[in-house]
Structure 1
Amino acid sequence: MAERSLTTNLELATAPTDDVSVEDDWGLPLDLNLFAHQERHRIVIHEAQASPVSIFIECVEALTPVDMMSLSSGTNDATGFRVWTGAVLLIASLDTLVEDFKGKRVLELGCGTGIGGIALMLSQHATPAFLCFSDADQNALKLCRRNCELNGLEEVDERLLQNLCSFTKKSFSIMQLTWGTTIPSTIPARSMDTVVATDILYDIEMLSSILQTTMACLKPGGSFVLSHIPRASCPEHHQPDENLESFIVQQAELHGLVLRRLIRPRDVSSFEDSQVFSDTLDTTSLRDMEAIGAAILVFHLVVVQKNHV
């Protein structure tokens, strides 16, 4: 679809002037003019005492300058079409996160391509009982659904979501969700064992909405797993006093989320290995992630005990 868009633009640019309709050129539908070209990539999951598992993801390798201009102007958000470093860190760390995902009901915030959730569903040690992919962008959700189908995952009818205990392995749901807004009625409030997010905090002002949505979905005693790459912008009127990681922890505590574990890239078993994450997709190494301060923050939602007189 992206190839057709690029060819169309090239033909228009080289055609005689009187054959070109400027309105038609600028009026191409967004889904035919996303600028970055999507290709299928093979991703390899390495887990201890398990054979490597391949998953397949349609995505773009990088955003183009035009994509970034469209993002800054608010006309189109293509960030959900590529694989970000936080997802790579999550996949590399699955062995350390088994207790947070195995057999759990999981909600992913800002799923984008779906790579993080799909890796969880195909994991041999950390497979959830059910996973709900969510994103605010409809085009990203379409891509996520396509990637789930590529990997043989079974989508659940929305009408069945009220009974989250009845799903079989590899069952998933897809839901449009904007952070800080009301949770769709299809998902019971405070019903998720784990909420996971990878590399979604690129503006510090989003943090409050992310935590608000997490609290609305997470059951008491549940876990919030944030695979964090320190790239968030901080406006002048909202500069954190400490470093960004400390600020996130502080704000989470105000919502009742207490940091339980902090996983650095150096803590991952494959840190010293030269395992190939993808033979077709260029990704950041664990050593480079360590150098930039990447981490997985695992929070626990504290259960408040009521005093009885």
Structure 2
Amino acid sequence: MSSEQRRGFIAAHTRALSVPSLPQITLYQADEVTPLWLMTEADMVRDRLAPPFWAFAWSGGQALARYLFDHPETVEGRRVLDLACGSGLVGIAAALNGAQSVICNDIDPYAETAVAMNAALNSVEPAFLAGNLLSGDPPPVDVVLAGDIAYEAPMTDAMLTFLRRCLAQGCDVWVGDPHRTYFPASGFERLARYDIVTNPDIEDAAVKPASVWRMSP
């Protein structure tokens, strides 16, 4: 599917809505989970794509974005990577809070299109870096932000290994997580906790507690 076709698909199956716990940010979001999941299923099977994580404001990402508005010094004047960015919510929040530059990264080409559309809604211009970064070195950034990375054990392990590599290379690392099972109990300092309004179709509650963590050396 071409970029223009993806753009048309996103425009047809999402709406520009304020983020539930961050009304200062607008994203193209799906109203319902199941129809969009089914509509993209053929593409996912054919192209080995991830599910449409880009169509929702997940609770860990919302918490991390909230934290950036509460603590803009986290990113102000700094080069930022939004890892596994989905909709680009966290990267957009970083750009709105004074980041020198923002790179949004994801493996999903739909995410690349969604990030461009969402960035335009919010009058920011993050760069996009496609592909899986986890087996290599991080790009030249000062801050790595990651929301909702602990869904499955193997992916969590891979993400944490990469984040430790980022930390060893001098990056500051922040993670937003809604207390998922696979998020580690050690190696992080909790900096904030929020009650996040979310979509009960994608989470187990309409209001989900989520915390922001800084990775410790």
The alignment's TM-score, normalised by the length of structure 2, stands at: 0.74
User: 12, 20, 37: which is aligned to 2:13?
Assistant: 37
How far off its partner does 1:93 sit? 2.5
Matches within 5 A, 1:33-182: 37-43=13-19, 54-64=24-34, 67=37, 75=45, 76=49, 77-123=51-97, 127-154=98-125, 172-182=126-136
- In structure 2, distance between residues paired with 1:87 and 1:207: 15
Q: For 1:116 and 1:227, how far apart are their aligned partners in 2?
A: 10
Give the match for residue 289 of structure 1: 208
Q: CA deviation at 1:194?
A: 1.3
What displacement does 1:136 show? 0.6
Structure 1 residue 55 displacement after superposition: 2.9
Look up the match of 1:260: 189
* Corresponding residue for residue 227 of structure 1: 176
Higher normalized contact order (CA 8 Å, seq sep 6+, divided by chain length):
2
Alignment of 1:237-248 (within 5 A): 244-245=182-183, 248=184
Partner Cα separation in structure 1 for residue 180 and residue 39 of structure 2:
18
Report the aligned-residue RMSD. 3.6
- Superposed CA deviations along residues 192-219 of structure 1, whole A, max 9, x for unmatched, are 2211111132112112211233344456
Q: Sequence identity, in percent?
A: 23
The 1:199–1:64 alpha-carbon spacing in structure 2 relative to 1, beyond 3 Å, is same
* TM-score of the pair, normalised by structure 1: 0.55
Does the Cα contact within 8 Å between 1:60 and 1:83 map onto a contact in 2?
A: no
Question: In structure 2, the residue corresponding to 1:265 is in which secondary structure?
Answer: strand
Moved over 6 A (4+): 29-34, 68-71
Pairwise CA distance, 1:63: 1.6
Give the counterpart letter for 1:176 in structure 2. Answer: A
In structure 1, distance between residues paired with 2:6 and 2:72: 40
CA shift, 1:108, in A, is 0.7
Does the aligned pair in 2 maintain the 1:56–1:151 contact within 8 Å? yes
The offset of 1:225, in angstroms, is 0.9
For structure 2, the residue ranges without an aligned partner over 5 or more in a row are: none
Residues 3-14 of structure 1: pairs in structure 2 closer than 5 A = none
The C-alpha deviation readout for 1:11-60, integer Å capped at 9, x for no partner, is: xxxxxxxxxxxxxxxxxx888778x92111134887xxxxxx73321121
State the Cα distance separating 1:142 from its structure 2 match: 1.0
* Alignment length (residue pairs): 204
